[in-house]
């Protein structure tokens, strides 16, 4: 569009330039032609003047001659009155003519020829008049002079005629030239006029076209302006434009109404926007600050809250754009405002529900993860072989489930009078290793207990330290019996507010309860399992291993000793004359002796050694990684301890035992050989008088 207008303008300017040049050329040629016509005319006039002067000279000359002749005939002096004046006229005209024909050599030549003849003739006439006046004119002389005069006159007439003819010829030529020039000028003028008329017509047409175009576009502009105004005024959005001095250049009805509603002031075009807000406190004039940015040429969209009360307050989305003039200079800014309160509200609601959904999803996800971990923990706990292993599994999974906690598992002892820390993880701070059940609020209340801080809750005695960290105590219950507590301490690194701790507890409470019951079950199972195992391996009366345990483990132990190339002692022990005790004091007394001797053996042996009730009042003791000397010393010590025991039945009763030692690998390389060798040695002890220790038939005492 712009390009078309530009090329139109260039065309019009070129056209005007052509017309102007054409005008100048025609003016120049016209002027030149007029000059030419004028000059030709001047020459015609000039020639006429020369002809006139020539005629005058001839006429004056003829008059002088005629008057002179008359005077000569009549002698009337009145005839020759003023004759000198006529002669002067002739000479003056002659001189003038000479001057006028300076450029004409032919005429000059004729005039030069004429001049002496004319002078001679005038002089002759004057002479005749003088002679007549003095009456000295003699007839012969007069006749001769007249004849001479006639000759001169003829010559003069001839020359003047020649001059006259020349001038007439010149006049004809010049008149022709004038006529030609005049005709040419006429044609030129007519042509130029026609051309100019055409050009003028074209210009007028062009102007008309341009004018109608301009008028049409003005009308269109006016129409579109009105249309635009109608659209802007009809818009529900609030539209306004400001110049750099904050004067309102334009605004629509909706803007005026909203402005009045929000700021209590009526605004119209031409008002100053800043002045319109001047009555408000500074914090309610942030609209001016936003306009500041827009009037510096920034184009942006903001969402702002406006309105002083609940009724009018809403959120508005405002889009600012810059206004430039045709030279690209910033002359203001405009804004379009939309009330997006409801939309933002809806968006916020959507965001909230999305957030809630996300939270629920993440909760479901984290619950699912927890379920997987708990499930895994249960599986692992189920296959835990010992209490120690089970507690390690529990601590490992609790670290995963509750990474923000350190903790401990306390187990109730058999006599149910204290709890002892059986497992700790993540290094819990300031806790008692052993405490009585009444020192824990969780145990006292029989339900989980949350300690937030010293201002909010009472600390348990087992965790009552200065600046104690927050913790949960969860009783571990199996078959309605407290078997311990799960102590969970919130890590020091989590600096939390009271509410956050409570929230954390509430969030995890169910899961912790569930885990605690799983742990309780696992612990109680492992305890039961261990008890059962103990029962099947141990002799109920003496609490020593039984014969079946020995037969299970003996072979394995012999192989291990072989592999490790270590020594091992197999000691067979039999109480001396035990039958007598039963007989004398009853079976119960015999059992008591057996029970006490069992205890004694356990106190005297290392944990790694095995003491087994082989049958009745016979025992086998296996000492691992022991040399003969050490074995003998230890068994001697045991023998002496047994003999030192005193039982008060009816009487004060003592008991002795006999021992037989066999060494691996010296006395045998399998259990049977070794037991046989030990039994043989025992037999030797019995045979030798009892209450002694024998190795390879030798009494060791």
Residues that bind ligand GH3 (CB under 6 A): 574-579, 582, 587, 590-591, 616-617, 686, 690
Spatial CA neighbour of 453 closest among 401, 505, 409: 505
Closer Cβ to Mg ion, 397 or 578, answer by number: 578
Closer Cβ to ligand GH3, 306 or 578, answer by number: 578
Give the side-chain half-sphere CA count within 13 A for 222: 6
Sign of the torsion angle spanned by Cα atoms 106, 111, 116, 120:
positive
> Would you say 142 and 128 are in contact if contact means Cβ atoms under 8 Å apart?
yes
Span between the terminal Cα atoms of the chain, in Å: 132
In Å, how far from its chain's centre is CA 232?
32
Of the residues 358, 617, 618, 630, which is catalytic?
A: 617
Distance CA 406, CA 422 (A): 14
Taking residue 34's Cβ as centre, other Cβ atoms within 10 Å add up to: 14
Tell me if the bond preceding 665 is cis, omega within 30° of 0: yes
553-592 footprint of Mg ion as x/- string (CB under 5 A): ---------------------xx--x--------------
Closer Cβ to ligand GH3, 615 or 697, answer by number: 615
Tokens standing for 490? 């919130």
205 vs 7, 18, 26, 329, CA distance in Å?
18, 16, 22, 37
Q: Which residues are CB-contacts of 416 (< 8 A; sequence separation ≥ 6)?
A: 437
- Min dist CB 692 to ligand GH3, Å, is 12
The alpha carbons of the chain give a radius of gyration, in whole angstroms, of 77
Shortest-Cβ-distance residue relative to ligand GH3: 590
> Would you say 121 and 93 are in contact if contact means Cβ atoms under 8 Å apart?
no
Beta bridge partners of 344: none
- Min dist CB 659 to Mg ion, Å, is 12
Closer Cβ to Mg ion, 258 or 613, answer by number: 613
Distance CA 354, CA 642 (A): 80
Do the strands 693-695 and 657-664 form a parallel or antiparallel pair, or are they unpaired? Answer: parallel
- Contact partner at residue 582 from ligand GH3, Mg ion, none, CB < 5 to 8 Å by partner kind: ligand GH3
Where does 565-652 have alpha helices with state H?
Answer: 578-585, 587-604, 628-644
Distance CA 246, CA 1 (A): 33
- Min dist CB 642 to ligand GH3, Å, is 13
DSSP string, 164-178: HHHHHHHHHHHHHHH
Phi first, then psi: give them for residue 135, nearest 5 degrees.
55, 30
Closer Cβ to Mg ion, 298 or 583, answer by number: 583
Closer Cβ to ligand GH3, 297 or 586, answer by number: 586
- Contact partner at residue 346 from Mg ion, ligand GH3, none, CB < 5 to 8 Å by partner kind: none
579 vs 105, 139, 584, 641, 691, CA distance in Å?
201, 242, 9, 21, 15
Q: Burial of 213 by CB count in 10 Å (0-12 exposed, 13-18 middle, 19+ buried)?
A: exposed
Phi first, then psi: give them for residue 393, nearest 5 degrees.
-60, -45
Catalytic annotation on 283? no
Closer Cβ to ligand GH3, 556 or 579, answer by number: 579
Closer Cβ to ligand GH3, 441 or 578, answer by number: 578
Distance CA 303, CA 339 (A): 10
Closer Cβ to Mg ion, 537 or 582, answer by number: 582
- Contact partner at residue 587 from Mg ion, ligand GH3, none, CB < 5 to 8 Å by partner kind: ligand GH3
> Would you say 616 and 622 are in contact if contact means Cβ atoms under 8 Å apart?
no
Closer Cβ to Mg ion, 337 or 612, answer by number: 612
Spatial CA neighbour of 601 closest among 675, 651, 659: 659
- Contact partner at residue 609 from Mg ion, ligand GH3, none, CB < 5 to 8 Å by partner kind: none
- Contact partner at residue 686 from ligand GH3, Mg ion, none, CB < 5 to 8 Å by partner kind: ligand GH3
Size of the site for Mg ion (CB under 5 A): 3
202 vs 10, 197, 205, 206, 663, CA distance in Å?
16, 8, 5, 6, 144
Where do the DSSP E strands lie in 364-523?
Answer: 405-412, 419-425, 434-435, 449-451, 471-478, 481-490
517-556 footprint of Mg ion as x/- string (CB under 5 A): ----------------------------------------
SS3 category, 136: coil
- Contact partner at residue 591 from ligand GH3, Mg ion, none, CB < 5 to 8 Å by partner kind: ligand GH3
Give the side-chain half-sphere CA count within 13 A for 53: 22
Closer Cβ to ligand GH3, 333 or 572, answer by number: 572
Q: For 237, which DSSP code? A: S
Spatial CA neighbour of 331 closest among 422, 245, 439: 245
Q: Tell me which residues are annotated as active site.
A: 617
Binding site for Mg ion (CB under 5 A): 574-575, 578
């Amino acid at each position: 569009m712009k390009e078309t207008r530009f090329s139109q303008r260039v065309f019009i300017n070129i056209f005007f330039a052509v017309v102007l040049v054409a005008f100048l050329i025609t003016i120049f040629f016209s002027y030149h032609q007029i000059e030419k016509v004028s000059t030709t005319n001047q020459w015609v006039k000039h020639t006429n003047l020369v002809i006139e002067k020539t005629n005058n000279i001839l006429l004056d000359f003829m008059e002088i001659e005629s008057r002179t002749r008359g005077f000569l005939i009549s002698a009337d002096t009145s005839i020759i009155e003023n004759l000198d004046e006529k002669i002067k006229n002739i000479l003056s005209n002659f001189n003038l003519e000479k001057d006028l024909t300076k450029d004409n050599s032919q005429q000059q030549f004729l005039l030069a020829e004429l001049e002496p003849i004319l002078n001679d003739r005038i002089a002759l006439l004057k002479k005749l008049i003088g002679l007549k006046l003095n009456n000295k004119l003699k007839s012969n002389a007069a006749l001769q002079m007249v004849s001479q005069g006639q000759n001169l006159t003829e010559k003069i007439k001839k020359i003047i005629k020649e001059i006259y003819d020349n001038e007439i010829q010149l006049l004809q030529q010049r008149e022709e030239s004038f006529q030609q020039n005049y005709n040419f000028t006429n044609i030129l003028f007519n042509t130029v006029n026609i051309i100019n008329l055409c050009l003028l017509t074209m210009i007028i047409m062009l102007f008309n076209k341009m004018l109608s175009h301009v008028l049409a576009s003005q009308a269109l502009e006016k129409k579109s302006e009105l249309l635009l105004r109608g659209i802007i005024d009809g818009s529900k959005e609030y539209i306004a434009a400001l110049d750099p001095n904050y004067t309102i250049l334009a605004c629509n009805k909706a803007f005026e109404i909203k402005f009045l509603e929000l700021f209590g002031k009526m605004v119209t075009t031409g008002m100053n926007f800043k002045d319109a807000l001047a009555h408000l406190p500074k914090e309610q004039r942030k609209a001016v600050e936003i306009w500041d940015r827009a009037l510096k040429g920034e184009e942006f969209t903001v969402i702002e809250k406006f309105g002083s009360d609940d009724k009018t307050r809403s959120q508005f989305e405002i889009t600012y754009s810059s206004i430039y003039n045709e030279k690209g200079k910033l002359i203001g800014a405009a804004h379009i405002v939309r009330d997006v309160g409801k939309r933002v509200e809806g968006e916020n609601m959507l965001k909230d529900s999305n957030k809630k959904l996300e939270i629920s999803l993440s909760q479901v996800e984290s619950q699912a993860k927890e379920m997987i971990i708990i499930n895994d923990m249960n599986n692992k706990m189920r296959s835990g072989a010992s209490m120690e292993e089970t507690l390690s599994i529990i601590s490992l999974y609790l670290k995963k489930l509750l990474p923000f906690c350190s903790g401990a598992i306390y187990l109730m002892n058999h006599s149910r009078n204290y709890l002892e820390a059986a497992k700790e993880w993540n290094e819990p701070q300031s806790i008692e290793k052993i405490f009585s059940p009444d020192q824990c609020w969780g145990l006292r209340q029989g339900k989980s207990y949350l300690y937030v801080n010293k201002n909010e809750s009472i600390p348990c005695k087992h965790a009552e330290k200065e600046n104690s960290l927050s913790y949960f105590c969860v009783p571990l219950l199996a078959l309605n019996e407290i078997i311990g507590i799960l102590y969970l301490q919130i890590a020091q690194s989590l600096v939390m507010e009271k509410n956050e701790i409570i929230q954390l507890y509430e969030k995890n409470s169910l899961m912790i309860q569930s885990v605690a019951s799983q742990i309780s079950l696992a612990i109680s199972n492992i305890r039961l399992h261990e008890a059962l195992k103990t029962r099947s391996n141990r002799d109920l009366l003496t609490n020593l291993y039984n014969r079946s345990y020995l037969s299970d483990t003996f072979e394995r132990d012999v192989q291990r000793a072989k592999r490790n190339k270590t020594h091992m002692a197999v000691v067979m022990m039999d109480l001396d004359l035990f039958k007598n005790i039963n007989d004398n004091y009853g079976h119960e007394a015999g059992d008591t002796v057996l029970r006490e001797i069992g205890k004694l053996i356990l106190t005297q042996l290392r944990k790694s050694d095995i003491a087994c009730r082989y049958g009745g009042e016979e025992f086998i003791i296996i000492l691992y990684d022991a040399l003969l000397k050490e074995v003998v010393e230890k068994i001697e010590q045991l023998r002496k301890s047994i003999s030192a025991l005193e039982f008060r039945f009816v009487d004060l009763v003592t008991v002795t035992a006999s021992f037989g030692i066999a060494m691996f690998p010296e006395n045998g390389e399998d259990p049977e050989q070794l037991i046989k060798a030990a039994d043989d040695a025992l037999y030797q002890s019995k045979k030798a008088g009892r209450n002694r220790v024998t190795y390879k038939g030798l009494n060791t005492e």
